[in-house]
Amino acid sequence: MPLTLSKTKLMAYISCPEKFRLRYGLRLKPLRDDPALIEGRAIHHLVESGLMYRDAIEDVLPVANMRFWESTPFETCGYDTIEDYQHAQTRCLSDSIKFLELIGPMPILAVEKDIQVPLTHPFTGEVWDSITIRGLIDLVSETESGPAVIDIKTVGRTPSMKMAAISSELALYAYLLAYPDYWDARPVEVAFLNLIRTKEPKITYDKAVLGLDEFENIVTTCRQVAASIKLGHFWKNPGMQCGWCSYKSLCHGDKQTAVNMLGEYAWEFYQMTKDVVAYQQLSPTLNPHDQAA
Ligand code: SF4
């Protein structure tokens, strides 16, 4: 069975296979999105727009902000009041302007660069046609050593650890950017650009250079994850990641919160399918979309 493994799906499976099953197998979604996620998406969009149209920021940003919120109506958001929703719009715009000032000039080659390739071993050139790897790279910037990957993160405090050198997502992006000439390709510069939403917004860069070793590792990871998904191997992996998981109430049996957040249907569907082993036998009749990835 062909399978497309996007960066988001890969990271969801690695962090918790049950989360992957709920999101991409059962296709359960919160009725309203978390405000922190929405504002992260808004700032992401505004900063990318500002970097693309740096000479016209004052005109572009208010329009981009308006369009973003028009496509994200109050009813789909988890804000308590309309005032909170409106305040978020103003704050996202002002934070984004500040972030763009802090970032300064940046030569940009592409924004939201969408790359899909068949999984290919960087050393042997072996191709696994049934596995497509996909990534949407936030920014491809121009450096002296060639195109570089920048992944934007919107966070509430300064990250305590450097992660770029060991990040699977940056390795995946670098692998996609280098495809298909791995032997000739130079190592790829990668970075997390952290947009830190403290009282006074600030930014940090977390940089690394990734090459063939990291590409080989990410190919192995993709092969293992793809094989596990195809075999229907899903299990709960409780831990810190539960703190920001949209399915926490469902997964931890808090019915009232789960119904409020995901709806009655989601609760009942989950009850029918939470025995994963039994569900594997029944899944084709329960949800024809199951395991589509
Ligand atoms: S709450 Fe925790 S264990 Fe349950 S799906 Fe989410 S991350 Fe996995």
> What is the C-alpha to C-alpha distance for residues 30 and 141, in angstroms, rounded to an integer?
34
Q: What pLDDT, in 10s, does the model give residues 168-179?
A: 999 999 999 999
- Strand-pairing partners, residue 84, are none
Helices and strands (DSSP H and E) totals, the chain:
11, 6
- Pairing, β 127-143 against β 146-155: antiparallel
The mean predicted confidence, pLDDT, of the chain is 92
- Is residue 77 over pLDDT 80? yes
Instruction: Identify which of 13, 235, 251 to mutate to test ligand 1's pocket (most ligand atoms within 8 A of the CB).
Output: 251
> What is the C-alpha to C-alpha distance for residues 26 and 269, in angstroms, rounded to an integer?
8
Instruction: Name the nearest CA neighbour of 230 among 62, 72, 13, 84.
Output: 13
Confidence of residue 182 (pLDDT cuts 50, 70, 90): confident
- Is residue 287 over pLDDT 80? no
Confidence of residue 38 (pLDDT cuts 50, 70, 90): very high
Q: What pLDDT, in 10s, does the model give residues 189-248?
A: 999 999 999 989 999 999 999 999 999 999 999 999 999 999 989 999 999 999 989 999
- Atom 2 of ligand 1 has which residue's CA nearest to it? 242
- Atom 7 of ligand 1 has which residue's CA nearest to it? 242
CA 183–ligand 1 middle distance (angstroms): 39
- Atom 1 of ligand 1 has which residue's CA nearest to it? 248
Q: What pLDDT, in 10s, does the model give residues 115-152?
A: 999 999 999 999 999 999 999 999 999 998 899 999 99
41, 203 Cβ separation under 8 angstroms: no
CA 255–ligand 1 middle distance (angstroms): 15
Confidence of residue 183 (pLDDT cuts 50, 70, 90): confident
Q: In the chain, what percentage of residues exceed pLDDT 70?
A: 94
- Is residue 58 over pLDDT 50? yes
pLDDT given for residue 277 in this prediction: 66
> What is the C-alpha to C-alpha distance for residues 132 and 112, in angstroms, rounded to an integer?
18
CA 2–ligand 1 middle distance (angstroms): 26
- Give one DSSP letter per residue of 215-256, joined into a string: HHHHHHHHHHHHHHHHTT------SGGGGG-TTHHHHTT-HH
Residues in the chain: 293
Ligand 1 lining (C-beta closer than 6 Å): 16, 18-19, 236-238, 241-242, 245, 247-248, 251
Please give the model's pTM, rounded to 2 decimal places. 0.91
Confidence of residue 285 (pLDDT cuts 50, 70, 90): very low
> What is the C-alpha to C-alpha distance for residues 141 and 251, in angstroms, rounded to an integer?
40
CA 162–ligand 1 middle distance (angstroms): 25
Sequence ranges of the domains in the chain: 35-103, 112-221
pLDDT given for residue 286 in this prediction: 42
CA 247–ligand 1 middle distance (angstroms): 6
104, 116 Cβ separation under 8 angstroms: no
CA 238–ligand 1 middle distance (angstroms): 5
